[in-house]
Amino acid sequence: MKRSTYLSLILILGSLTALGPFTIDMYLPGFPAIAEDLGVDVERVGLTLSSYFIGICAGQLLYGPLLDRFGRKKPLYIGLLLYIAASVGCAFATSLDGLVWLRFFQAVGSCAATVAAMAMVRDLFPVHENAKVFALLMLVVGASPMVAPTVGGYVTSAIGWHSVFTILAVMGALMLLACIFWLPDSFRPDTSLSLKPAPIIRNFWSVWKEPQFYTYALTGAVAFSALFTYVSGSPKVFMQVFQLSDKAYGWVFAALSVGFIGSSQVNTIMLKRYSSEQILPVALSVMSVAALLFVWGSGAGWLGLWGTIGTLAVLLCCLGFVNPNTAALSLAPFARNAGTASALMGALQMGAGALASVFVSLFKENTAFPMAACMTVAALLSLLILAVGRTVIASRKTAHS
């Protein structure tokens, strides 16, 4: 493959992979403006984030079978068209209920881009290069939380929150054109695959009943719900409780993202000396201690802005270790149906994230305590799931030996 072709494919696939995270993060600084414009509390604006997570959860399970049955490009085109239409609708939304529904369809559309990009890595590149390509895509995804809120803050401040969704619609249109003209067909449709519910459900069940999968997938999903709690709750905490401007919030969000991205890269180095099984309980234990400190300090009122930022930095760094290790351990037992396992794992993550974001949006308290409490529950519960699940795995191995 020519270097120019290689780089263009990386750029297109990376952009597709980053579309979902960028869509989540870019409108966060506009929460207060959306609340004021639509006549609702900032907490209720968080429901637009919850509906987005639900849409991604549904899309994870929808697009896997469709991409195998009809090829990669047709479902991708339909998903991007849905994304563009929903983004335009969001730009003209006049009620919170309408925005909530449009965000759901926007998520279902963006999910096609993410799932298709991951599948096309396996199609377009040699197996021995897949890890390298995935690492490059993850760098693009990791950059989006640093860039999107900062850009969103400046756009919201200058020309209003509606313009954020207009920009997202234009981005979707540019990606659609790039896919039509520069993305090659990578997969011949498998017309033998059934799209009936029963075979699909049986396939997912065969993955779920593996103890190693449900132990680490649930551990990762519950722990990762702390990240969604932070994404949902941080606009109110930083812009209402601590009175930061939308621009300043974008910079704080970007700075905290550096810890999450950086720790995931440190994890890669640590894996040369330690196994995922060794790193994971340590990361979850540190995360639990930091979360308890967060909920205590925010409840007592002595943590302050810089204490909140510092504690969140530790929590997000721990998640940078938790996420890649739980993903690797969840998928380890599956060679033939790793795609199904990956889709189910993603759905669990997004489902847990949706529940967490809905829960934190229910609190009216004008402090960081609700966000801290939800993150603490996520940290402690994930540590408990890991301990119980490992006992089940060990007892099963003993029974089979």
C-beta atoms surrounding 366 within 10 Å = 13
pLDDT in tens, 380-389: 999 999 999 9
Separation of alpha carbons 314 and 349, rounded Å: 21
Domain 196-401 coded CATH 3.30.420.40: no
Q: Is the pLDDT of residue 155 over 90?
A: yes
Report percent pLDDT > 70 for the chain: 90
CB 257, CB 150: distance < 8 Å: no
CB 47, CB 101: distance < 8 Å: no
Instruction: Give me the mean pLDDT over the 12-38 stretch.
Output: 89
What ranges do the domains of the chain cover? 1-183, 196-401
Domain 1-183 coded CATH 1.10.10.60: no
pLDDT attached to residue 95: 95
CB 267, CB 279: distance < 8 Å: yes
Q: Is the pLDDT of residue 350 over 90?
A: no
Domains 1-183 and 196-401 are alike in CATH topology: yes
Higher pLDDT, 395 or 142: 395
**Which has the closest alpha carbon to 187: 84, 64, 17?**
64
Instruction: Give me the mean pLDDT over the 338-351 stretch.
Output: 75
Separation of alpha carbons 325 and 141, rounded Å: 18
Q: Is the pLDDT of residue 394 over 60?
A: yes
pLDDT attached to residue 78: 94
Q: Is the pLDDT of residue 129 over 70?
A: no
pLDDT attached to residue 290: 95
Confidence of residue 130 (pLDDT cuts 50, 70, 90): low
Contacts of 375 (CB under 8 A, 6+ apart): 226, 229, 230, 291, 294, 295, 315
Higher pLDDT, 399 or 231: 231
pLDDT attached to residue 339: 59
Separation of alpha carbons 157 and 298, rounded Å: 29
Spell 200-235 as b/e; 16+ CB within 10 A means b.
beebbeebeebbbbbbbbbbbbbbbbbbbbbbbbbb
**Which has the closest alpha carbon to 56: 350, 391, 398, 280?**
350
Q: Is 302 exposed, middle or buried (0-12, 13-18, 19+ CB in 10 A)?
A: exposed
DSSP 222: H
pLDDT attached to residue 141: 67
Separation of alpha carbons 295 and 373, rounded Å: 6
pTM, two decimals, is 0.75
Report helix, strand or coil for 242.
coil
pLDDT in tens, 72-106: 888 899 999 999 999 999 999 999 999 999 999 99
**Which has the closest alpha carbon to 234: 162, 117, 145?**
145
Instruction: Give me the mean pLDDT over the 301-307 stretch.
Output: 88
Separation of alpha carbons 304 and 67, rounded Å: 48
CB 318, CB 263: distance < 8 Å: yes
Higher pLDDT, 205 or 100: 100
Q: Is the pLDDT of residue 67 over 80?
A: no
Which range, 26-30, 118-122, 375-379, 392-396, is most confident? 375-379
pLDDT attached to residue 1: 60
Report helix, strand or coil for 58.
helix
